[in-house]
Amino acid sequence: MEFESVIGLEVHAQLSTKTKIFCSCSTEFGDSPNTHTCPVCLGMPGVLPVLNKEVVEFALRFGIAAHSKISKFSRFARKNYFYPDLPKGYQVSQYELPIVEGGFIEIDLPEGKKKIGLVRAHMEEDAGKLIHQRDVSFVDFNRAGVPLLEIVSEPDLRTPEEAGEYLRKIRTLVRYLKISNGNMEEGSMRCDANVSVREKAEEKLGTKVEIKNINSFKHVEKALVYEIRRQIALVQNGGQIVQETRLWDEKENITRSMRSKEEAYEYRYFPEPDLVPLLIDEKWAERVKTDMPELADEKEKRFVKDYKLSPEKASIFTESNELADYFENICKAFHGYKQIANWMLSEFLAYLNKEGKEIGDVDMKPRQVAELLKLVDEGTISGKIAKSVFAEMWETNKSAGDIVQKKGLVQIKDENKITEIVCRVVEENPDVVDKYKKGKKNVMGFLAGQVMKYTKGKANPQLVNKILLEKLR
Ligand code: ADP
Ligand code: MG
Ligand code: ZN
């Protein structure tokens, strides 16, 4: 029997507003516990929430970008449950009338593009955070009331890789939209993965299991691979999948049963009586639409057209808005787009990766990179020298011109000077020259290498080859 897996993701993106969703406390992360709190987010009795308009704008931005339907009338709902980090005894969320419905996210797969449908996206408040220390637990309410956008996909994903790709697409999107930093490791993007298996020919969906507590892209894929294997083995051995919530244990690399799945009715959802329904008029949605930044997919297409990049390269440079801007700013200062693209891929991004840095951490300005590539283009320095100059630029943030001047790295294009060195090399290597004369033409490379060695890599390679060839003849 052949099985296939079916996956649907629920992604919580923390919205990067300055203040919380229903009060004016700061959303700043990392400050002392309980310093960003007030009667509203501490859940004191009798206080009233006031909706943060920016949260709505951010949700609208997402909905428009995801080709979704924007609800003209939506409303908040109470999701009731008890937990020590939830002082009110309920979380204000949206239920039967979310702000965003439908739409899709397009992902890139080796076999082409695929649209992953969205069920909905809704606004809600985050809970506080429990800190466990030996036999005591503390609660920090700084996070209570921080706005979240919960994005729920249709069960359209088929493999762990597709799920990973979908998550990366969402991260890129929320970053481009400047509504969330999308950082899973820091907990500003969290994901619950729903997964089931079924026989390939079967149309009916299998019983799903929800995996919670996954905090990195790598672990989402790993958790799914494990869970799919577990489910298939279970079914093949005549067992039955039970609908449940499982936890991902990243030390053991397994999922563990946490509880049987809760049903929606257990939360006793009902409309939030302390907030009026949310009406979004045409004008508001229109305005958000016209203010939309250029998104990754459009930018990618434009890069292919404007800078003659392959779609693969364009998609690398448009992975983040910051990187795309950086690339474009180099292109503004120097028009050798192909050289820029190659340099970015072979050198620049390699340095970034090696040091685990983000583009925002780089002090070097785009025009400094442009200056370096211009020096190569004009023939002032060789490509090889450029690499060492770049290494120094990276360390010291000095300009390419300065480094080249101070170290005397300017390329030698003086034919007399090169001829002099060629003569010397030929004299010093009579046996090699002899081999050349007997037909072993590939010793040319060795001789040219010797010339380069004498000039510390500074001789113009074309001239070296030309003069060497003349001399040997
Ligand atoms: P629940 O009411 O249990 O939360 P939902 O219908 O709201 O379930 O779906 C939650 C998530 O689970 C969605 O992302 C959806 O795509 C996904 N999902 C639903 N059914 C299945 C299934 N049989 N297999 C895998 N994922 C599923
Ligand atoms: Mg759900
Ligand atoms: Zn507050």
pLDDT at 384 over 90: no
Beta bridge partners of 77: 93, 271
> Which residue from 96, 152, 208 has its CB within 8 A of the most atoms of ligand 1, so it is best to mutate?
208
| Ligand 1, atom 7, residue with closest C-alpha | 152
**Mean pLDDT of the region 56-73:** 97
Give the alpha-carbon dihedral of 444, 446, 452, 454, to 10 degrees. Answer: -120
Mutual orientation of helices 444-454 and 461-472 as an angle, nearest 10°? 120
Contact between 139 and 129 under an 8 Å Cβ cutoff? The reply is: yes
Ligand 1 atom closest to the CA of 210, numbered from 1: 12
Strands 3-14 and 189-199: antiparallel
Q: What is the mean pLDDT of the chain?
A: 94
The whole-angstrom separation of Cα 411 and Cα 458 is 5
C-alpha 284 to ligand 3 mean position (Å): 27
Ligand 1 neighbours by CB, cut-off 6 Å: 6-10, 152-155, 194-196, 205-206, 208, 264
Average pLDDT over residues 374-380: 89
- 8 Å CB contact between 23 and 49: yes
184-211 pLDDT tens trace: 988 899 999 999 999 998 999 999 999 9
What residue ranges in 126-282 does DSSP mark as E strands?
A: 129-133, 136-140, 147-153, 189-199, 209-214, 244-249, 254-260, 270-271, 278-279
Percent of the chain with pLDDT over 90: 83
The CATH class that applies to domain 415-472 reads mainly alpha
Degrees to nearest 5, angle at CA 67 with 279 and 73: 15
Ligand 1 atom with least separation from CA of 205: 23
Predicted TM-score of the model (pTM): 0.84
Distance 196 CA to ligand 2 centre (A): 15
Model confidence at 162: pLDDT above 80: yes
CB 412 within 8 A of CB 398: no
Question: pLDDT tens digits, residue range 237-285?
Answer: 999 999 999 999 999 999 999 888 777 788 999 999 999 999 999 999 9
- Whole-number Å distance, alpha carbon 19 to ligand 2 midpoint, is 26
Which atom number of ligand 1 is nearest to the Cα of residue 206? Answer: 23
Atom of ligand 1 nearest to the CA of 156: 16
Q: In the chain, list all ranges with CATH 1.10.10.410.
A: 415-472
Rounded distance from Cα 101 to ligand 2 centre (Å): 14
Beta strands 189-199 and 147-153: pairing type?
Answer: unpaired
Q: Give the count of alpha carbons within 13 A of 251, CB side only.
A: 0
CA gap 464, 470 in Å, rounded:
10
